[in-house]
């Protein structure tokens, strides 16, 4: 939508007003409340306009760049994204690239406050981590491992790695709580799921490093 807005020192100018509120995501029609005087930059002026959403009563600020002092201003496309800080052990991507991808998505969902979705995503990340790790250990069983239930793989294939087996089991139990209607382990929550998952990833990454060291000393 185009709107004529008064800019200090510049007068009435036409601006494209964003349709959707970044806070409530409704298309309700912004009300402009304030505009900065033009700020001179290379290639034209820049102005910032503050809008008020009539639906949620929150403010947002948009930047407009002038095309070569022509009096024509274009809306700068801002994306208000949350950054998720992900701190995963070194080399874990060598074991499971998909684990890293899904874990980052889960952390992003969590950063946006999507609590009911991120638990399911962490559960999926755990499945890829554990299955990819077991496939490394038993490459001859790759197809079976891909198709079997996670719980069965944990109990059948991880006996030789008891700490990883314990952490994987705890992660899977809490992960299943995130996907099912009834929560079985009400004394534990998402923070516990993440802690077990990250501890499992740390052991798996260390196991990868130990395998690399073994290859090195046997050369
Ligand atoms: Zn709004």
Distance 25 CA to ligand 1 centre (A): 6
Residues 47 and 131 in one domain: no
Distance 19 CA to ligand 1 centre (A): 10
Residues 152 and 183 in one domain: yes
Q: Of 50, 75, 100, which marks where a domain is finished?
A: 75
Any domain includes 70: yes
Does the reported pTM lie above 0.85? no
Domain coverage including residue 39: 2-75
Distance 12 CA to ligand 1 centre (A): 25
Note the pLDDT of residue 24. Answer: 83
Distance 62 CA to ligand 1 centre (A): 14
Residues 70 and 109 in one domain: no
The string of pLDDT tens digits covering residues 92-116 is 999 999 999 999 999 999 888 888 8
Could you read off the pLDDT tens digit of each residue along the chain, which spans 219 residues? 899 999 999 899 999 999 888 888 888 888 888 999 999 988 889 999 999 999 999 999 999 999 988 889 999 988 767 777 789 999 999 999 999 999 999 999 988 888 889 999 999 999 999 999 999 999 999 999 999 999 999 999 999 999 999 999 999 999 888 888 888 888 888 999 999 999 999 999 999 999 999 999 998
Any domain includes 83: no
Residues 101 and 208 in one domain: yes
Residues 96 and 124 in one domain: yes
Q: Of 75, 100, 119, which marks where a domain is finished?
A: 75
Distance 28 CA to ligand 1 centre (A): 8
Residues 139 and 208 in one domain: yes
Residues 118 and 65 in one domain: no
Residues 66 and 109 in one domain: no
Structural domain count, the chain: 2
Q: Is there a contact between 24 and 55 (Cβ–Cβ < 8 Å)?
A: yes
Distance 80 CA to ligand 1 centre (A): 14
Beta bridge partners of 41: 44
Q: Of 75, 107, 132, which marks where a domain is finished?
A: 75
Distance 8 CA to ligand 1 centre (A): 26
């Amino acid at each position: 939508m185009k709107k004529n807005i008064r800019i200090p020192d510049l007068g009435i100018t036409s601006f494209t007003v964003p349709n959707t509120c970044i806070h409530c995501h409704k298309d309700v029609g912004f009300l402009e409340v304030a505009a900065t005087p033009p700020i001179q930059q290379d290639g034209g002026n820049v102005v910032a306009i503050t809008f008020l959403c009539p639906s949620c009563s929150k403010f947002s600020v948009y930047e407009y760049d002038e095309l070569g002092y022509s009096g024509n201003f274009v809306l700068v496309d801002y994306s208000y994204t949350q950054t998720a800080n992900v701190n995963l052990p070194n080399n874990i991507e060598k074991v499971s690239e998909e684990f890293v991808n899904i874990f980052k998505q889960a952390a992003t969902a969590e950063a946006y406050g999507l609590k009911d979705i991120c638990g399911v995503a962490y559960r999926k990340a755990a499945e890829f981590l554990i299955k990819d790790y077991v496939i490394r250990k038993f490459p001859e069983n790759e197809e079976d491992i891909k198709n079997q239930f996670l719980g069965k793989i944990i109990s059948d294939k991880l006996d030789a790695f008891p700490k990883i087996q314990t952490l994987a089991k705890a992660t899977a139990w809490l992960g299943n709580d995130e996907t099912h209607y009834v929560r079985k382990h009400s004394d534990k929550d998402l923070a516990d799921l993440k802690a077990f998952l990250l501890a499992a990833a740390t052991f798996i990454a260390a196991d990868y490093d130990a395998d690399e060291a073994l290859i090195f000393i046997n050369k």
